[in-house]
Amino acid sequence: MENYLIKNITVVNEGKSLVKDVLIRNGRIEKISDRIETPSAAKEINGEGKHLLPGAIDDQVHFREPGLTHKATIYTESKAAVAGGVTSFMEMPNTIPPVFTQELLEDKYDIASGSSLANYSFYMGTSNDNAEEVLKTNAKKNDVCGVKIFMGSSTGGLLVDNYLSLDRIFRDTNVLIATHCEDERIIRENFQRIKKERGTLKPADHPDIRDDNACFESSFTAIQFAKRYDSRLHILHISTEKELSLFGNFMPLQHKRITAEVCVHHLHFTSNDYEKLGNLIKCNPAIKPYFNKEALWNALLDDRLDVIATDHAPHTFEEKNEPYEKAHAGLPLVQHSLLLMLHYVKEGRIPLTKVVEKMSHAVATCFNVSERGFIREGYHADLVIADLKQKTTVSKENILYKCRWSPLERFTFPAAITHTFINGHLVYENGAWNESKKGQRLKFNRDH
């Protein structure tokens, strides 16, 4: 087992930034102190001038395996995640076949156990007719992050729009329910009207088709179900100012029954960017006008929005360059999400402690992840060293996604991820890799 002593590093954790020594032994954080003598069996790392962060936990990614491996695999995308300081991920069920049975769910865990460089969990998928299978995902089984409901258009039969199916899942599921909220009826009506008005559609039409009303009505519906049954609801990728009225910040996160996520692309891009990037930023829910981005930032900072994620969803460059109506929706982002937030730290938009809170602490709290997400003695050593004096420019040469493109190409971040530890194993160090150990299946602390 590898042992490390990180010396004189600024530890960013639980609202504080303090220079400390951190000892990693047997996969765990053994000691955090002002001064620790280097044990004979430990490798010393000089952390002077750098920052030690708990590894980011991304609660929403699409790694495409099985069935869509021409776009991505669990191996390729977990490697990209690790290079970007994401040490754990929770992956979505819209693979081929969709994860509609417990057996198919376990198949994905089997793939990850042999290939994922990061820690992992997978959502159970829902359809209009698999409630019995969904309900087998219960709280006593503490190693599944939750169930996913697509309450908006999707592929592979994952759209759940049957009232009775939704009612039963919200009533009887005792694990976290994560929802994609866009109202399919509103989207169809918008599409037909705008298509009739404008003829050939363009990427800039996307936020008008998948507009704020479609998002609001679906999020409102999910919240009504959750309130009726006191379900544990987590609404993914909030993208509109209008939806923010549905969320509060009047209680600590650990007591919230309804929580919300914002994704990095909705904090970074606006509808003005379609002119330059076109389908490369086509995603669902859509990137919307500027005032929504400003409202999302305000809600993130005042804790109406609880966590930051990516909705990492790679497609091939050819699939993105089809005409608008055929172009696939989704962006690859997991390698650059933490770096993008460090850019906004440098810009003065958000404190570094708040980035750590929203990308690590709050995700662990929201999902009750066991012994991760914080830099605490006894916790798994999922750690990231960031150098805020280096720069990182996104280029085709350093993109690790299997699709080999990014909407952030040529963007320069004012920081670099230099080291990533997964369970105390130094997987990534200044561009060098040690892939001899794989990540672990996440565990969750649940009391009901």
Q: What is the pLDDT of residues 314-348, one digit of tens each?
A: 999 999 999 999 999 999 999 999 999 999 999 99
Distances (CA, A) of 406 to 36, 45, 181, 195, 289: 42, 32, 25, 29, 21
What pLDDT, on the 0 to 100 scale, is given for residue 447? 59
What pLDDT, on the 0 to 100 scale, is given for residue 1? 65
What is the rounded distance in angstroms from the CA atom of residue 170 to the CA atom of residue 190? 28
Q: For residue 112, with 0-12 CB atoms within 10 Å meaning exposed, 13-18 middle and 19 or more buried, which class applies?
A: buried
Alpha-carbon torsion, ordered 74, 402, 58, 14, to 10 deg: 110
Q: What is the pLDDT of residues 314-323, one digit of tens each?
A: 999 999 999 9
What is the rounded distance in angstroms from the CA atom of residue 157 to the CA atom of residue 125? 10
What pLDDT, on the 0 to 100 scale, is given for residue 448? 44
Helices (H), 376-445: none
The torsion region of residue 443 among left (phi > 0), alpha (psi -120 to 50) and beta comes to: beta
Which helix (H) or strand (E) segment holds residue 19: the answer is strand 16-25
pLDDT-derived band at 138, boundaries 50, 70, 90: confident
Domains of the chain listed by start with CATH number: 4-52+377-391+406-433 (2.30.40.10), 55-367 (3.20.20.140)
Q: Is the dihedral of CA 320, 152, 118, 73 positive or negative?
A: negative
Helices (H), 92-183: 102-115, 131-134, 163-172
What pLDDT, on the 0 to 100 scale, is given for residue 200? 94
Nearest to 285 by CA among 385, 166, 152: 152
What is the rounded distance in angstroms from the CA atom of residue 109 to the CA atom of residue 283? 27
Q: Give Cα 62 distance to the centre of its chain.
A: 9
Helices (H), 245-385: 264-268, 274-277, 290-301, 317-320, 337-346, 352-356, 362-367
pTM, two decimal places: 0.97
In this predicted structure, the answer to whether residue 154 has a pLDDT above a threshold of 60 is no
Largest Cα separation within the chain, whole Å, is: 74
- Average pLDDT on 44-58 reads 98
Q: Give Cα 87 distance to the centre of its chain.
A: 11
Distances (CA, A) of 355 to 37, 65, 100, 302, 349: 31, 29, 34, 13, 10
Q: What percent of the chain has pLDDT over 90?
A: 93
Q: What is the pLDDT of residues 202-224, one digit of tens each?
A: 999 999 999 999 999 999 999 99
What is the rounded distance in angstroms from the CA atom of residue 288 to the CA atom of residue 216? 13
Residue 98 preceded by cis peptide, ω within 30: no
Which helix (H) or strand (E) segment holds residue 194: the answer is helix 184-198
What pLDDT, on the 0 to 100 scale, is given for residue 158? 79
For 308, residues 6+ apart whose C-beta sits below 8 A from its C-beta are: 261, 262, 263, 264, 267, 300, 337, 341, 355, 358, 359
Q: What is the pLDDT of residues 393-421, one digit of tens each?
A: 999 999 999 999 999 999 999 999 999 99
Least confident span in 75-84, 125-134, 209-218, 427-436? 125-134
